[in-house]
Structure 1
Amino acid sequence: MLISSDANVLEPLESYSIAKYHNGRLATRYGSFNYPSSRDVMAPAVVEGKGFFDYRDFNHFMLNGNQNDTIVLSVRNRTLVDMVTSFSYLFSFFGLLMMPLLFRVNAENSWGNRLSLSMKIQAGLISLVFLSLLTFGWGSGLFVSTQYHQFTNDMIREKLNSVEAEVSAKLGHFDVLKINANGNYMQGILQKFARVFFTDINLYDNEGYLLATSRPKVFNVGLLSEQMNPESFKYMELYKQSEFVHRESIGKLNFSSAYKPFYNTKGVQLGYINLQHFGQQREFENQIQRFLVAIINVFILLLAVSVILAIFISNWLTAPLRILQESFASVKFGKYNEHIHYDKDDEIGSLVKDYNQKLDELEFAAQQLARNEREMAWREMAKQVAHEIKNPLTPMKLSVQQLLRVYDPSDPKSADKLKAVSNSIIEQIDALTRIANEFSTFAKMPNPNEERVNVLALIQGVKEVFQGQIVMDIEAADDDVWIVADKDQFVRVFNNLIKNAIQAIPKEREGHLFVRIQALGDRVKIELKDNGSGIPKDQYSKIFVPYFTTKGTGTGLGLAMVKQIVENHRGSIDFDSISDEGTTFFIDLPKA
């Protein structure tokens, strides 16, 4: 007890047991292994001189010193539980290292910073097991400690009564005890009884001063005071307790200490007997340590099992939800969406049933909407066609009526009037033909006849058509920028965009159109920027709508046709506009 922990050089060897045999009989032993009294019972015949062997779950090393003496060193073999526990430690340590990575991957695959349901279930189950095991371990440790202290107190009470009886038999005939007269005698008796009862014994007088002790060195070096513990003296002297047991300490060492009044044969109190129970403190610490190690081993093992079970359980519970998620993600409006097949009658089954029902309702609603949109589109187209046809028919009718009123076969000028009316009617018929062709082209856009097309060369060719109408500057980082497209359709695209740019420029302003062509990765970016009057913000959403136009003439199909052609080539078109500064159209197409 009084040796410094730094001097415990043999402490790592405490898990070993050792025995000495003399003439084949057990002479002495130390440790937890129960050695047989005869060496021949445990030693195999194959061991000669020295060697290793297994016996009763221990591994032994035997050394024959001479013909008479044999030394045996033993240590417990590692069991399956030990190996599983070691694996559990490694598994848990690896899990702790992987946990930040798993949370990061989950966060990247989740919406925002929210955890997935699977991770929540795993975290909940593991946390529940962890808290349960932690609470169980803490409660078990507290229970074992309490039970041990209770057992120690009961044992020290029994020893105290036994010691009091033995001391009374030796010192009960004295009327008074004094150090000068009886000190050596009392110390000898206490040391004898200390060896018998394996405990330290102190004897105090009625004033609480030390009379004798079985371990005088403790008091001589000043580790303990020669006066009784104040709390103990209070309970014994003031409260007249028949016995008192509590915890005392020497430095960091805590031990149980019991007090009992000591009377002589005449019933006169001579002093107080004190037993200090710290001889088994190391045993208690070892028991607690073994218990904690066992708890930790079970804790780690169950934690590892709970992690594996949590993964399987969470995957099992969320498997139907993943099917729902995939089905939700694949739902497309206006397309056929397959039903989910799930035959279990639970909450997921009810959700699947409602989902399938909503799919049917969605398909019906999509068909109704598509039918309504087609009908509305035909009505709008019929209205627009009627309006566009009506415009040239009115002047044609007026021209014919005027001709009928003024035509005179005898008049020499009638032939000229007839020719003028005929030319006007022909022009109106050409306008009707053009209108019919534009509507037919938009309604029956042919499938693109794709080929490799050099965008720069294509735009330069279109530029020549509008020479003199607008100043065009073309910028390209490379002379060869290729796309896969229908050349005729993209001639129509750029014709429409350049024509719109020309029409958007005020008469008092010289028209400029800047075209930039860029190849970025696997995409081709085309930018057309004019210096026209711009597009009002309230018309942004209608620019690509069929039949919408900001000009006094035209069908409003030009930009709608441009958008349709670009999207048919797996591209996109967008624009940006600043009032009175101009409009920029952006075309994005896949590179050939």
Structure 2
Amino acid sequence: MSDLEFGWFNHQFDLDIFDPKIYAESFFLPSLGDLLLNAIALTWVSLFVYTNRKKYELPGWLQRSKSAGLIFHVLLLAIFAAFAYLIDDIFFGLIYNSRIAFEINIINLDWISWVCVLLLCLAWFNIYLFAIVFIKLTLKLNVTNKERLVLFIASLLIFTVFRLFTEFTAFFIVCALLLFLLGYNIYIEQRRFSVLIFASSFFCMAFITSVKYIRFTDIRERNLRAKVAEKLETTDDPKVINAIDIFESGVKGNEYVINYFKDSAYVSRTVLQNYIEKSFLDGFLSHFEVSMYTYNAQGDEVQPSGTKLSYFTELVRAGALKTPESGYFYRINDTFGYQNYFGIIPIFEGASILGRLVVELKSQPYNYNQRFPELLIDGKARSENQDNNYSFAFYNKGVLVNQSGKFTYDLINRSFNAPVGKIHILNDKEKKINHLVFAPTASKIIVISKERITYVARLAALSFFFLVFILFSFLVYILIWFLKNMENSAFGWFSINKYLMINANQILYKTRIQVSIIFAVVVTLLVVGWATFYNISEEYKKQQADQIRDKIRKLQVSYEKQISNSGILLDAQAVVDFNQFADVNTAFLNLYSLKGELLMTSIPRLYDNGIVGKKMGPVAFITLGKLKTSEFINPAEKIGTFTYAAAYVPIRNNKNQTIAYLGSPFYGNQEDYDNTIGLFLNTLINIYALVFVAIGILAVFLANQITNPLTFIQESIRQTKLGRRNQPIHWSRHDEIGSLIKEYNKMIAALEDSA
């Protein structure tokens, strides 16, 4: 309670796990770390209750009374259901009230996501312990198993009817099945280990968790889409507003811009625009279409453009809206489906005005596709919940005015309708698309579309949780065994071997067959899976390297042609040409001298801000400059912890002399690799989980087929009595069992003859 009251952990340790920005739900659950501590404390209590379960005694009248026993059963069912609902509510809050990335992708899961997985395992562990304790208590009651079954089915039917009138899902049926399996294992099987019950129980847990996970993430995602739709109604994007504010601050006092207005012959307007675009208009403003106009202090054009300053001042008078947090930018009103900003920025030298720079920005709606890695995006504006899989459509008076994304929309609106100011969800089962429709006014419709959650994704979640829960159970079993035996002074490898030998001798032959089959298959799957994963990942890396090599060679040839006549110039126009060359080829480019010094770059902010040094990488420089190779590809260049691939080639003149080095970083290379390999790994896990379940069922079937004859022989031998006539065992097949039975019948006949 001291941590809840004073936040001791969060103040004493700078840990992300105690940061409420990641997760916070209530006073008792102010952070993910507090939730984990509460879960561990609850687990300790559950283990204490479970360990002392044999010491609990019920009153004598309760043990004798059948009606009281039945009521006690119902009460325990109600307590169990309430406990399950509490954990269900916490699980919902863990997804909905957090910024945790809940992706069932092993490669993309960070340590915070694994903490959440651990919390789920602890939750199910607590449910299991309480269920066992409750069932053990009911063994002392005067209630038969038949009566328990009737009571259980009746309670389930009553609850099912109730949920049919509220909200029915398969969640309740599977919960009941899990409880039935646990009860069957205790009431009927006397807690004997069974692979079928073991696998079925974990399958139920995984099914329940995956269903809830899919449902809760879907609710969270739809809520996010609703916020996006409402944000689109206002047109102003906070990320863009923040970027405009930074742009204004940078341009006003920039020496390069001031020199242009002091002397218009300093550089051309095209060169100025290129400089401003590369220096200030990357990040969130990079997808805007940019136009720039320059005017002197009297309002006349510095260099002819055909657009007078009065055009923009009239827009202000006509009702253009001032953008928040900006001193000089306005948004043109009634631009539904896109954003159109313009800024009239005065340029001063001291107290005297030199002129005005007008910047016009026109964008596509809510474009998520950024070319830059996260380290180039302004930290204040970074969104935690962006989703690159959205498609957008804007309808005005029933006509499509703009769209983005991969989904195809009708030019005339025939399908999307919603009450004004309300959100409407529309499912297209044929195209497997989910549409969120929002009508800001009677004539305008905003549609945000996303692919529905596929059955493959559902299977991936089920497989992931199934394997995680099984692994967790083994780890818990090993941990508990070690804790029990560590108190023994003779604890060591000898005692471990002795324990394993004793328990191995007590394992049934049927169980040995089941475990042997499953173990052999699992080992085979792991070996084959690892080999497949390794080969696929290496092959994909090779494909990426080939694509990079092909790209850099084309860039090399094209750039050598561009400079073949003039050579490499370093004036302002050459910088413009270099940046245009990079834009046309959709690449980030750096040009280095023969000494490895940066000459030109299409991403100057990286170097101006000191994120990357202005020297060529040492390995690339030595490989190209000293070893004289034709190219060099570094698959793992780094900026801090950010990893990306980069390629370098020499640039030659008409005399085939190397005059510079061209480098091209591929910032999306590692992310693309992680996504592709993660998808493959998820698919592999799905297949293996299904194979594991199938092999478990097959192992049970084969073990029963093998051991049934032995059980039959055991029962016949048990009924054999010396001194009287015994019936021979009949076996129709001529196999090993048949030979054994034949010898047994001979022995019985010989004993009877000698009697």
Which of the five TM-score ranges fits, normalised by the shorter chain? 0.5 to 0.7
Question: In the TM superposition, what is the alpha-carbon distance from 1:263 to its structure 2 partner?
Answer: 0.8
Structure 2, unaligned runs of 5 or more: 1-372, 482-498
* Aligned amino acid, residue 660 of structure 2: G
What amino acid is aligned across from residue 251 of structure 1 in structure 2? G
User: Aligned in 2, Cα 1:113/1:286: closer, same or farther, shift over 3 Å?
Assistant: same
Provide Cα deviations, 1:466-508, integer angstroms capped at 9, x if missing partner. xxxxxxxxxxxxxxxxxxxxxxxxxxxxxxxxxxxxxxxxxxx
Name the residue aligned to 2:510.
118
**Alignment counterpart, residue 232 of structure 1, candidates 596, 620, 629:** 620
2:655 pairs with one of 266, 270, 273: 266
Does residue 623 of structure 2 align to residue 251 of structure 1? no
Q: Is the contact made by 2:545 and 2:633 (CA closer than 8 Å) also made in structure 1?
A: yes
Q: Output the amino acid matched with 2:581.
A: F
Give the deviation of 1:243 after TM superposition: 1.6
| 1:82–1:170 CA distance, 2 compared to 1 (3 A) | closer
The match for 2:413 among 34, 40, 54 is 40
SS at match of 2:589: strand
* Residue aligning to 2:436: 61
Look up the match of 1:182. 570
RMSD of aligned Cα (Å): 3.6
* 1:354-410 per-position Cα deviation (integer Å, ceiling 9, x unaligned): 232233234445x1xxxxxxxxxxxxxxxxxxxxxxxxxxxxxxxxxxxxxxxxxxx
Q: CA deviation at 1:165?
A: 2.5
Residue 534 of structure 2, aligned match among 121, 142, 158: 142
Question: Partner residue of 1:205?
Answer: 593
Paired position in structure 1 for 2:665: 276
State the shift of 1:270 in Å.
0.6
Q: What is aligned with 1:161?
A: 553
Please say if residues 62 and 71 of structure 1, whose CA atoms lie closer than 8 Å, have aligned partners that are also in contact: yes
| TM superposition shift of 1:174 | 4.2
- Seen in structure 2, the aligned counterparts of structure 1 residues 239 and 315 have a Cα distance that, compared at 3 Å, is same
2:451 — aligned with what? Answer: 76
Q: Deviations over 1:482-536 (max 9, x none)?
A: xxxxxxxxxxxxxxxxxxxxxxxxxxxxxxxxxxxxxxxxxxxxxxxxxxxxxxx
Once residues 518 and 557 of structure 2 are traced to their aligned partners in structure 1, the CA distance between those partners, rounded to angstroms, is 58
Pairs within 5 Å for 1:266-345: 266-345=655-734
Residue of 48, 52, 58 corresponding to 2:425 = 52
Structure with greater contact order relative to length (CA < 8 Å, sep ≥ 6)? 2
Q: How far apart, in 1, do the equivalents of 2:432 and 2:659 lie?
A: 55
- Check 1:28–1:111 CA distance in 2 against 1; reply closer, same or farther (3 A cut): closer
Aligned equivalent of 2:394, options 3, 9, 21: 21
Unaligned runs of 5+ in 1: 368-592
Report SS of the residue matched to 1:14: coil
Distance in 2 separating the partners of 1:116 and 1:126? 15
Say if 2:573 is the partner of 1:193.
Answer: no
Q: Distance in 1 between the 2:380 and 2:696 partners?
A: 43
Please give the alpha-carbon distance, in whole angstroms, between the structure 2 residues aligned to 1:203 and 1:4.
Answer: 20
What's the CA shift string for 1:421-442, capped at 9, x where partnerless?
xxxxxxxxxxxxxxxxxxxxxx
1-structure distance, mates of 2:386, 2:599: 40
- Cα deviation, residue 261, structure 1: 1.2
Q: Relative to 1, partners in 2 of residues 1:152 and 1:194: Cα closer, same or farther, differing over 3 Å?
A: farther
- CA shift digits 1:197-243 (9 cap, x unpaired): 33221111222222211112222333333222222222222332112
| 1:246 and 1:257 in contact (8 A); partners too | yes
Q: Residues 229 and 80 of structure 1: is their aligned pair in 2 closer, same or farther, counting only changes over 3 Å?
A: closer
Contact kept, 8 Å, 1:17 with 1:75, in 2: the verdict is yes
After TM superposition, the structure 1 = structure 2 runs for residues 403-442 of structure 1, keeping only pairs within 5 Å, are: none
Q: Which moved more, 1:307-316 or 1:2-11?
A: 2-11
Name the aligned partner's letter for residue 737 of structure 2. I
Counterpart AA for 1:210: L
| 2:514 and 2:700 in contact (8 A); partners too | yes
By how many angstroms is 1:185 displaced? 4.1
Q: Deviations over 1:168-195 (max 9, x none)?
A: 23322345x4xxx605444433322332
Displacement of 1:95 after TM fit? 5.8
In 2, the alpha carbon distance for the partners of 1:186 and 1:292 equals 47
Is the 2:597–2:614 Cα contact (8 Å) retained in structure 1? yes
In 2: Cα distance, 1:170 partner to 1:119 partner: 75
Q: C-alpha distance in 2, partners of 1:141/1:7?
A: 39
Deviation at 1:262, TM superposition (A): 0.4
1:285-339 per-position Cα deviation (integer Å, ceiling 9, x unaligned): 2222222222222222222222222222221222112222333444444444433
Q: 1:3 aligns with which of 372, 375, 382?
A: 375
CA distance in 2, matches of 1:146, 1:156: 15
| TM-score scaled by length of structure 2 | 0.42
**Do the aligned partners of 2:590 and 2:663 also contact (CA within 8 Å) in 1?**
yes
Name the SS of the counterpart of 1:312 in structure 2.
helix
Identity %: 26
Q: 1:355 to 1:166 in 2, by over 3 A?
A: same
Structure 2: how far apart are the matches of 1:7 and 1:338?
88
Give secondary structure in 1 for the equivalent of 2:375: coil
Q: CA deviation at 1:11?
A: 5.1
After superposition, the Cα gap between the structure-2 partners of 1:264 and 1:138, relative to the gap in structure 1 and judged at 3 Å, is same
SS state of the match for residue 3, structure 1?
helix
Structure 2 CA distance for partners of 1:214 and 1:81, relative to 1, 3 Å: closer
CA gap of 1:13–1:318, structure 2 versus 1, over 3 A, is: farther
What does the per-residue CA deviation read over 1:137-193, in whole Å, with 9 as the maximum and x for residues that have no partner? 333332332233222222222221222223223322345x4xxx6054444333223
On the 8 A contact 1:20/1:69 being kept in 2, the answer is: no
Distance in 1 (CA, whole Å) between partners of 2:712 and 2:472 is: 31
Aligned CA distance change for structure 1 residues 364 and 84 (closer, same or farther; 3 Å): farther
Alpha-carbon distance in structure 1 between the residues aligned to 2:558 and 2:462: 56
What is the distance in 2 between the residues matched to 1:97 and 1:255? 35
Check the 8 A contact 2:393/2:409 in 1, yes or no.
no
- Tell me, in whole angstroms, the C-alpha distance in 2 between the residues paired with 1:4 and 1:133: 42
**Match of residue 352, structure 1, among 741, 744, 751:** 741
State the SS of the aligned residue for 1:345: coil
Structure with greater proportional strand content: 1
CA distance in 2, matches of 1:96, 1:345: 43
Kept after mapping to 1: 8 A contact 2:418/2:439: no
Is the contact made by 1:152 and 1:256 (CA closer than 8 Å) also made in structure 2? no
| SS at 1:182 equivalent | coil
* Correspondences of 1:381-396 after superposition (within 5 Å): none
Does the C-alpha gap of structure 1 residues 218 and 131 become closer, same or farther in structure 2, counting only changes over 3 Å? farther
> What aligned pairs does 1:413-492 form with structure 2 within 5 A after superposition?
none
Q: Is the 1:92–1:303 contact (alpha carbons within 8 Å) kept by the matching residues of 2? A: no
- After superposition, what is the alpha-carbon deviation per residue over 1:538-563, rounded to whole angstroms, capped at 9, x for unaligned? xxxxxxxxxxxxxxxxxxxxxxxxxx
Tell me the secondary structure at the aligned position of residue 668 of structure 2: coil
Residues 246 and 15 (structure 1), Cα distance of their counterparts in 2 relative to 1, 3 Å cut: closer
Q: CA 1:12 to 1:37, structure 2 compared with 1: closer, same or farther past 3 Å?
A: same
- 1:18–1:71 contact (8 Å) kept in structure 2: no
Map of 2:193 onto structure 1: none
